[in-house]
Amino acid sequence: MKVTKVTKRSDTPDQYDIATGSKNFYVFVGEELVLVHNSPAVFAGTDPRDGQFFVAKKGIFNKNPKVYKTPQDIDDDTSGDLNDKLKAALKYLPALGIKGVVQGDFMFGAGDLETKTIDGEKYVTFHPNTIMYAIPWAQSKAVRQAKIGIVWHTNYTGSSFETMKASYDVDASKFRKSKNVWFQDSHLKNLERSTMSKKETESVDKLMSNIGKLFSQISGTTLRQLEAHPELPQTIETYNNTFVRSGASMQDPKKHTAGLLRYIKTKYRKEINARKTEKGKGTQRAKLKNILSFFSPENKKSLIKMFELQREMVLVKLILVKKLNSLSSYDTFVKTKDGYRVTGDEGYVAIDHISGNALKLVDRMEFSYNNFSPDTIKGWESKSRR
């Protein structure tokens, strides 16, 4: 199996299961495992319109593509930390001999590297997002010498920016080396430890069997009614996120369902009280009545089964995430007001090449909590990046 890393911003916290609002997670592309960051994105390569080298941010895919070929182009459109990084990219990336167009993530630029001793070990660190990456000093010479650091993850091919198609197959070994640029593609190597043990496999098999049984007990009518109440799944996600924010997990599906009902009633009472006119209050009362109409005895019974299924799926996910975390070849920490705390990588996504469907695997009690928590100091909060 080939393992790769890519970059993509995660979904907004109150709408989707990843519930992060940002940052860093692994994905599977077919049989490839991909690491995702939300450091500032950079595009680089040859403009198909005139053959000139360029760098760009995501405006490359505008109706009128925005690319930068001179420092003045960058100054005219950007400022601050991103301006500095793009100008460094324009200066140093041509030495790599990039063919076509590639996309990557800035891991660090001038002033971003720090030397830290954590638990008695000396590291060179960079902190592009929620997680701080720590390279042991003995392995960090190339990082320390570089002016910028980039992880490449996506190739783009096509006769114009508007028609380019993406593929997650960047091979950085084809780029020329430069001491000014620390770079790598997204291929991970340490896969000999990726096979689950017999005990882990048995645990997953048992959980998956129970998940199948639970799914068969969920009424199809309930699922169709959920589909007919699109505001309800979003409300459930928001309700679930209140647990993530507080660092709590779902224990009892029956109590969780009862808590959901209380949450909905409290939410709409606030909406009703906030309205100035009787008409406005009536609109909110009608919304509450409509959403409560879903909670028939049969639907509540199925909803409890759905939450129980969700709990079992989380247990499967945590086994897989723990195994995948063991592949990391660097150390990862979160920075808190009280110092540094060891953390895992941020998550994983399985992508089906045929259908394009994606399944996200995130340890929400770890990564998502860190994103939500005001006690976790994020990389973008540093003075140099404001």
Domain shared by 242 and 142, yes or no? no
Domain shared by 37 and 181, yes or no? yes
Which helix (H) or strand (E) segment holds residue 337: the answer is none
Q: Is residue 7 part of a domain?
A: no
Q: Is residue 19 part of a domain?
A: no
Q: Is residue 6 part of a domain?
A: no
Decide if 4 contacts 33 (C-beta within 8 A). Answer: yes
Domain shared by 117 and 154, yes or no? yes
Domain count, the chain: 2
Domain shared by 260 and 377, yes or no? no
Spatial separation of the C-alpha atoms in residues 276 and 101, rounded to whole Å: 55
Specify which residues 204 forms β-bridges with.
none
Q: Is residue 4 part of a domain?
A: no
Chain CA centroid to CA 235, Å? 21
As averages over each run of 10 residues, the pLDDT of the chain (386 residues) reads 32 28 35 47 93 92 90 94 94 95 91 89 84 84 94 88 82 93 73 74 93 94 90 89 76 93 95 95 94 94 94 84 68 62 56 58 56 60 55
Domain shared by 59 and 119, yes or no? yes
Spatial separation of the C-alpha atoms in residues 268 and 285, rounded to whole Å: 7
Q: Coil, helix or strand for 21?
A: coil
Boundaries of domain holding 290: 198-317
CA neighbor of 256 nearest in space, from 203, 211, 300, 207: 300
State the number of CA atoms in the 13 A half-sphere of 366 facing the CB: 22
Q: Is residue 18 part of a domain?
A: no
Q: Is residue 187 part of a domain?
A: yes
Q: Is residue 267 part of a domain?
A: yes
If you search the block for the tokens 């907004």, which residue do you land on? Answer: 12
Domain shared by 33 and 140, yes or no? yes
Domain shared by 145 and 213, yes or no? no
Domain shared by 102 and 231, yes or no? no
Return the pLDDT at 32: 37
Return the pLDDT at 16: 27
Domain shared by 289 and 244, yes or no? yes
Domain shared by 103 and 238, yes or no? no
Domain shared by 158 and 270, yes or no? no
Domain shared by 172 and 39, yes or no? yes
Maximum CA extent, the chain? 70
User: Which of these three, 317, 347, 367, is where a domain ends?
Assistant: 317
Spatial separation of the C-alpha atoms in residues 260 and 255, rounded to whole Å: 9
Return the pLDDT at 276: 93
Q: Is residue 20 part of a domain?
A: no
